[in-house]
Copies of this chain bind each other. A is one copy, B any other.
Amino acid sequence: MTPPIVAVVGGGQLARMMAPAATELGVILRVLVESPAAAAASPAHETVVGMPSDPDAVRALLAQPRPDVLTWEHEHIPAEVFEAAEAAGVPALPGLGALRFAQDKIDMRRRMDELGLPNPEWAPVATEADVARFLADHGGEAVLKTARGGYDGKGVRVIRDAGEAADWLEAAAAGGPRVLIEAKVPYTRELAAMAARRPSGEVVTWPVVESIQRDGVCSEVIAPAPRLTDVEADEARAVAARVATELGVVGVLAVEMFDTGEHVLINELAMRPHNSGHWTQDGSVTSQFEQHLRAVLDLPLGSTEPLAPVTVMANVLGGAREDLPAALGDITDPGAKIHLYGKDVRAGRKVGHVNVVGADVDDVHRRAVEAAAIVRDGGAA
């Protein structure tokens, strides 16, 4: 018995939730966690404590017995980690060639344009004059973004005046992340299409989901997205598959999209298991976490068939309840599948989620939101 070893950089909930899948597959999960209290620390089969910027920690992560592959639960991977993996002869997947399109929104937009994939109108901006010109051409309102470092609504700002871009432009001029501007798309909702690809080329996609955002953070996900036409669903899945193939992604890819009512436009890319895919843990034959492990190990990919007509995921953001495990006793809906991340509660921090499967979208949606509210606050929504 020589079980495959998958090394993972990052000790958050995404690495944590790879562990159950690894256990069932008989795969050993070795995780680089920032502290022994990290979300992934206790579920991982082996842990190394340290930061990805610490060469000793990375060396321990890649030590004998050598991992079969090195992967990530986030995109903020120092180049030194890739160099160390290369020196150790361990494939690092998704590779830098793909990952930079998830790290840098300017690189991503350029590449999507080159591929003829559906981008909103956009431009890189270096000066307030650039910003003013774009605003004038796009109705006086647009979305300013830093090319790197943003997540959950950070690094994104809706502006109506070039002066509102001053701080980020100054930071960029001083060597900080570059800045881009995008047309404010008149979208009706946000969708996400998820794909997985293995090195030998096989690509699969899951049903397209609707992602409901509150204050810039994903609140609920409905799978499949209600009232989506077959044309739009096929278009969205084809975009995800094409991005995975053209960029050479290995692992799970999430393509966040705007639904204009007639078409989809690409919003962001993530090359890892993603909040949009948590529903797959209870609602799909293969979860995104198992699929990510299969993909990076170049194993045959699992079925993405749904297990129910509808699955709804509701995030639990930090709220009134601090002792989250106590919520387990308060949720009496027998179909509420609770996933807790073992994190200390801070206001607004993602600390868990709930999945519910069923037949009626409104009923399932209501139940998922109610259960998440009980976890968060200790009372019904």
Contacts and interface: CB of A to CB of B under 8 A. Distances in A.
A246 B28 CA distance: 42
Interface in A191-225: 204
Interface stretch (A71-79, A168-176, A299-307): A299-307
Contacts of A28: 42
A341 interface: yes
Given A1-B322, A26-B352, A342-B26, A307 B357 contact: yes
A302 to B, nearest CB: 5
Contacts of A338: 24-26
A20 B19 CA distance: 7
Nearest to A307: B307
A349 B195 CA distance: 37
Interface residues of A, number: 56
**Copies per assembly:** 2
A27 interface: yes
Interface string A341-381: 11111000000100001000000000000000000000000
Contacts of A307: 307-308, 357
Interface of A: 1-4, 16-17, 19-21, 23-28, 42-43, 45-46, 204, 281-282, 285-286, 294, 297-303, 305, 307-308, 322-325, 328-329, 331-332, 334-335, 337-345, 352, 357
